Structure 1
């Protein structure tokens, strides 16, 4: 939605790493938003980013937040998300946060409550749920293309980021691993399509605790994985859909789809939840061939940053909250429940979100 009578919102990017360039590629074309500043704890990195992309202001986060920013986009390491988001809210800015919204559910809930008390809005990644493939899948489920959803299977099966990342150690830190790093993409997609999760079981294993960097200046260095590298979780949605989630950095190769949903009358296959494009296929009961769903705006360029534009729409419409913030909070709740279940060996039941927040997940 574009406002013809209001000036664009002033946006600051906080954190000038690789993902900031991906966000900027989307945000620089927005009619209702202008990136006027960028910040990083390494101010030289912020200044280089600003110079490279023609951004007027650059500096440390506290300096930039003091300059009448309307929207702060926080792209820093996960452990800094909550503190920086609260600083931005204190400065009077709406906030969009990269995944995860927080490291604990109490922290993410507190962040949402503080924003509401201040009359501000929090949005959060992942935003692939806003892309054409997911919208097409959502419409197919809503119109009964595969009947009533009964079960789903989601799988991140990969050899690990050390095969391509020059500094992969943070991906294996305690609280990270395949669940913490990539799980939010899959869980956001599952909750968007199938609703909130109310019950969790989980178990883990690790086949290679010692890892080897494969590329970059530290190639052949070894490091230790401090988080489980292969996790299988069983989830049950509030609508009684049974879901198997597997996240692994131990798999050499696979042909297994990233996400399948099974209904009473057919099956639906979605592309990788980490990306904004790809085909969505379905096969009806009794049919021999798979068919591909048509996607609205399938050829329009989309990418990371769609969630920021969605937040801007919420601000312009006068909404008090943004669905992506509550979805991200629920994802933190689910990951926390999975961690409890795998560590304790006991199932975990989630306290369901209040009714209006549950509706916001869809």
Structure 2
């Protein structure tokens, strides 16, 4: 490994890969060295834009070529590719969320990486951005006092509005919970600690239509719930509500709110690294912006890769740890299982018929 720079190889040259490449280019501790994709033309285009070679996946997953592999492929391939990178002897692997489709597979992957001495980091890396760092600092210093409750709200039209090939976002175990849910669940886990499920319900608007790109107007079918509402709970018993939907034009509800005895924090979209954290003291009529915590290095998708590279140099664990990613995968699976396990119970019909004298 280079004494000053970690050589990074990207596997999967889709839309998010460009964001990663931009962030990596702004860091002195990494160098984008190669890329790979099953679509050779897409890999060649990405390679040309970023002045790097493209290679078959097997050639890229080689310690002679890269030190750190970044897996940006569809969810079902995350774990197999990470295992291949570990088996090849790569010092570090970064995996886009989710770490695996199945939580047991995630746990086995973490154990496999530990046994091989491979550092493992997992998205989302928005936890490293100033927004969530600012919120964490505010909670740690007791700005809103004892936490009483929290709420997470994701309402969206779904990726078919902007993505030319959205079908993978609607595969089994994906949908809004599997695609966008990790940002919200990881933020809650980061700020409040591990969560468990108390109750959940789900619905599916199965027939969808692509709204962008050359296939605009083409229909497809969703194979995962497109709406989930849940009641979660922290280890201390604090209630947390979560709504995740791909069936809405939008919402005016805050993305994340945390309520305490002394006030409330309202957080920006956890899908992004930046944004204002708002504070409203209990009984106050207005909100104020919490002073932002400064963070080092480039901001954006890929800053977790930079952190993983620094961890590799300094002999520490990644801040975007795989254990949290495994918890989020397990929580998401439990949510879907709970939400879809039983048909909805019919509401009791209440009439205005007066009770009989004997009642």
- For 2:58, the equivalent position in structure 1 comes to 62
The answer to whether 1:216 aligns with 2:183 is no
Residues 224 and 321 of structure 1, relative CA distance in 2, 3 Å threshold: closer
What count of residue pairs does the alignment treat as equivalent? 340
- For 2:331, the equivalent position in structure 1 comes to 334
The superposition leaves residues 31-87 of structure 1 with CA deviations (integer Å, 9 ceiling, x where unpaired) of: 2211111111223322221121111x3211101112522111111111111111011
Q: Is the CA contact 1:202–1:345 (under 8 Å) kept in the aligned structure 2?
A: no
Q: Which moved more, 1:120-129 or 1:63-72?
A: 63-72
3-state SS of 2:54 partner: strand
Aligned counterpart in structure 2 of residue 163 of structure 1, from 161, 174, 182: 161
Aligned counterpart in structure 2 of residue 97 of structure 1, from 74, 78, 95: 95
Q: Is the CA contact 1:307–1:324 (under 8 Å) kept in the aligned structure 2?
A: no
- 1:233 Cα shift? 1.1
- 1:168 Cα shift? 2.1
TM-score, scaled relative to structure 2 = 0.90
- 1:205 Cα shift? 1.7
Distance 2:304 2:198 in 1: 27
Distance 1:84 1:92 in 2: 13
Q: Which runs of 5+ in 2 are unaligned?
A: 344-359
- For 1:350, the equivalent position in structure 2 comes to none
Q: Which runs of 5+ in 1 are unaligned?
A: 347-362
3-state SS of 2:180 partner: helix
The answer to whether 1:202 aligns with 2:195 is no
- 1:146 Cα shift? 0.5
Q: Which has the larger radius of gyration?
A: 2
Aligned counterpart in structure 1 of residue 308 of structure 2, from 297, 306, 311: 311
Moved over 3 A (4+): 297-301, 320-323
The answer to whether 1:286 aligns with 2:279 is no
The superposition leaves residues 235-292 of structure 1 with CA deviations (integer Å, 9 ceiling, x where unpaired) of: 1111322111100011123211111011111100000011111110010112111110
**1:241-280 paired onto structure 2 within 5 Å:** 241-280=238-277
- 1:298 Cα shift? 7.6
- For 2:348, the equivalent position in structure 1 comes to none
Q: Is the CA contact 2:125–2:320 (under 8 Å) kept in the aligned structure 1?
A: no
**1:172-191 paired onto structure 2 within 5 Å:** 172-191=170-189
Aligned counterpart in structure 2 of residue 145 of structure 1, from 143, 146, 168: 143
- 1:166 Cα shift? 2.2
- 1:155 Cα shift? 0.7
- 1:323 Cα shift? 4.5
Q: Is the CA contact 2:149–2:258 (under 8 Å) kept in the aligned structure 1?
A: yes
Q: Is the CA contact 2:76–2:101 (under 8 Å) kept in the aligned structure 1?
A: yes
- For 2:356, the equivalent position in structure 1 comes to none
Residues 58 and 220 of structure 1, relative CA distance in 2, 3 Å threshold: closer
